[in-house]
Structure 1
Amino acid sequence: MSAFNTTHYQPPFFILMGIPGLEAAHIWISIPFCTLYVTAVIGNSIIIFIIKTDASLHRPMYFLLSMLSGTDIALPTCVIPKMLGAFWFDSREIYFDACLMQMYFAHSFVVVESGILISMAFDRYVAVCNPLRYTSILTNALLAKLAFLVIFRSMLYVLPFPFLTKRLPFCNSNVIAHTYCEHMSVARLACADITANAVYGMSIALCGVFLDLLFIALSYALILKAVVRLSSKEARAKAFSTCTAHVCVIAVFYTPFLFTVILQRVGHTLSPSVHIIVANLYFLLPPIVNPVVYGVNTKQIRDRILKIFHLGR
């Protein structure tokens, strides 16, 4: 017990509780989560395969879409396999450093996806507002720079999370009331002041993702202004149709994110199980919806999917 009384004690591992209050239903809960995860991985892998193998899709919009699909595979993979291992095999232990790594990558891929959505909004802005200069503006060099900035920004934003957590002494408990190493769920186990963790986490939510959403809204305000000026209904309809899929993806990504942030801050009267289920769905809903949206709304991808599964002529 003396180790627990030291000011810098860190447990060798944490124990993931899962969904508090619903322990008896973990097996049943795991079935839809596993189904959604496998579907998301297969769906996004198909999108990446189609873009990679079809030369006509080697364009800026589809390059960004392939980045989005890759992120949509990585995002739930950071969380869901470990959760399923805990539910199916009672493998609830996660080493301290592995917990910090899971925390880092889970939060990083959220920021990466948000950055990709900004880049896609910029792509749609150029396509609608400057169509004649589209290929000259969105060059391969610019796309490479955008990809680098998206990844670098994510690394920079989230890097303090594991360091802020690692400095804390954990002398009360090592049981995380969650299915994965979510930043604040781990920080709340510490027997020390976690104000820095809470403030930085909220600042990333506000200054990071919310600012991204503001820039996307600005892009679409400019797109709407340009579309309204078009002379024919056919041109306006075509311009709107090029943005439909992206708008749906934005809604699917940011709506549960905002809901999750609000629940964490003001939803204290709700059962913890609600918070945790919503947090896990946040890792699954965008990855499973995105390939469906682009598969339905993008003719080239839709035709290739039908051809792959021999559903077309």
Structure 2
Amino acid sequence: MKNTNISTIDHFIIIGFPGLQPEYYGPVSVLLLFIFLSIVVGNGFISAVIVYERTLHKPTYIIFFNLAMTDILFGVVTLPKVIARYWWNDVISSFRACFTQMYFVHSLGAIHSLILLMLALDRFVAIWFPLQYSSLFTNKSISIACSLCWSLTFIRMLGIVLHASTLPYCNLNVILQCYCDHVSVTRLGCGDQVTYVYSVALANAMVTLLVPLTFIIFSYFSVIIAVLKMSHTERRHKVLSTCAPQIFITCLYYVPRCFVYIAHNLGFSFGVYTRTVITMMYSLIPALVNPIVYCFKTKDIKEALIHRFKSRKFIFDLQILRLL
């Protein structure tokens, strides 16, 4: 590999799932298209319900709305390119397109982590400080907090991605992944600064994921303690039914990532194909499953949907009677 300060490549080649045989390209592209449509339609549906249903104009559901938006945008940023790779054999990603994708992939992941932190704090304050909840968690304050999560993260990640773009990329341009991420791209860099750039990004990733995770664990652990102290079974069940979907959504996001990190530090190594599959699973499954959790495990959303369905059915029945 050349050791130069000038990049000699102008594009990257996205391999997708390394070692996948050509006869499986069609089924894989169809599966990924189904996942993409499910993520967009499912989270779009939940977002529309929260926007148009006045009973859901509450702080908790504003947070849900922001989670759904990160899931939609992550799917839009990552899946179309890998679908095109297997559908039309479009493996080329330009230098700028790859770094743009990297920027949004890591920004949306960091934003999702911060929104999950806000969700945990929402339940923590609601249960431990119920009298102060209505004054602290208002629609306005949550909207401002979510806006800050988005804007400040986009600004912070811009520095990380620009730092990676300063590396010279000499000969290697093959990305053994389904999309451009920081690790896959920077390992293709050459020169003396690669290790430093990687270390800065790794430290940033640990802060982005582990600091919110620490507060999330503390918040939900405190909630569980509060539930155990409750004397009324009915109230205990109500609190658990409110927190369970949020804990499940948080676990979907963090548990696989923590598993991969711990396994790596314990010396377990995954093959390139296995690592790619695991990365895609923990990146996409939460976005795929979250709308189902919102609909069936969140009481207010479920009741709003049932009420809307019954009112539509009632109107439809009246129209039928008029025709008769």
TM-score by length of 2: 0.88
Match of 1:72 in 2: 71
What secondary structure does 2:25 align onto?
Answer: helix
Q: What are the superposed Cα offsets for residues 26-49 of structure 1, whole Å, 9 maximum, x if unpaired?
A: 332222222122111111111011
Match of 2:19 in 1: 21
1:289-300 superposed matches below 5 A: 289-300=289-300
Rounded to whole Å, the distance in 2 between the matches of 1:169 and 1:146 is: 38
Match of 1:182 in 2: 181
Q: 1:267 to 1:53 in 2, by over 3 A?
A: farther
Q: 1:125 to 1:258 in 2, by over 3 A?
A: same
Rounded to whole Å, the distance in 1 between the matches of 2:313 and 2:126 is: 29
What secondary structure does 2:203 align onto?
Answer: helix
Q: 1:283 to 1:177 in 2, by over 3 A?
A: same
- Is the contact between residue 43 and residue 288 of structure 1 (CA under 8 Å) also seen in structure 2? yes
Match of 2:279 in 1: 279
- Structure 2 unmatched ranges of 5 or more: 315-324
Q: What are the superposed Cα offsets for residues 234-258 of structure 1, whole Å, 9 maximum, x if unpaired?
A: 1111111110000000110111222
1:177-256 superposed matches below 5 A: 177-193=176-192, 194-256=194-256
Rounded to whole Å, the distance in 2 between the matches of 1:6 and 1:185 is: 20
The reply on whether 1:173 has 2:181 as its aligned counterpart is no
- Is the contact between residue 39 and residue 71 of structure 2 (CA under 8 Å) also seen in structure 1? yes
- Is the contact between residue 128 and residue 223 of structure 1 (CA under 8 Å) also seen in structure 2? yes
One-letter amino acid of the counterpart of residue 12, structure 2: F
**Largest Rg, 1 or 2:** 2
1:83-94 superposed matches below 5 A: 83-94=82-93
CA RMSD of aligned residues (A): 2.4
Q: 1:97 to 1:256 in 2, by over 3 A?
A: same
One-letter amino acid of the counterpart of residue 177, structure 2: H
Q: What are the superposed Cα offsets for residues 134-157 of structure 1, whole Å, 9 maximum, x if unpaired?
A: 222112332133113311342244
Match of 2:320 in 1: none
Q: 1:140 to 1:32 in 2, by over 3 A?
A: same
Q: What are the superposed Cα offsets for residues 71-108 of structure 1, whole Å, 9 maximum, x if unpaired?
A: 11011211111010111111111111111110000011
One-letter amino acid of the counterpart of residue 5, structure 2: T
- Is the contact between residue 169 and residue 190 of structure 2 (CA under 8 Å) also seen in structure 1? yes
One-letter amino acid of the counterpart of residue 11, structure 2: F
What secondary structure does 2:12 align onto?
Answer: strand
TM-score by length of 1: 0.91
Between Structure 1 and Structure 2, how many residues are aligned?
Answer: 311
Match of 2:157 in 1: 158
Rounded to whole Å, the distance in 1 between the matches of 2:5 and 2:133 is: 58
Q: What are the superposed Cα offsets for residues 278-307 of structure 1, whole Å, 9 maximum, x if unpaired?
A: 112222111111111111112332244456
One-letter amino acid of the counterpart of residue 235, structure 1: R
1:124-143 superposed matches below 5 A: 124-143=123-142
One-letter amino acid of the counterpart of residue 13, structure 2: I
Match of 1:45 in 2: 44
One-letter amino acid of the counterpart of residue 118, structure 1: L
- Is the contact between residue 184 and residue 197 of structure 1 (CA under 8 Å) also seen in structure 2? no
- Is the contact between residue 76 and residue 283 of structure 1 (CA under 8 Å) also seen in structure 2? no
Report deviation, 1:207.
1.8
Match of 2:60 in 1: 61
Q: Does 181-190 or 112-121 show the bigger shift?
A: 181-190
Q: Does 257-266 or 32-41 show the bigger shift?
A: 257-266
Rounded to whole Å, the distance in 2 between the matches of 1:211 and 1:295 is: 29
- Is the contact between residue 4 and residue 190 of structure 2 (CA under 8 Å) also seen in structure 1? no
Q: Does 168-177 or 193-202 show the bigger shift?
A: 193-202
Rounded to whole Å, the distance in 1 between the matches of 2:165 and 2:306 is: 49
What secondary structure does 1:32 align onto?
Answer: helix
- Is the contact between residue 17 and residue 177 of structure 2 (CA under 8 Å) also seen in structure 1? yes
Seq. identity, %: 32
- Is the contact between residue 17 and residue 175 of structure 1 (CA under 8 Å) also seen in structure 2? yes
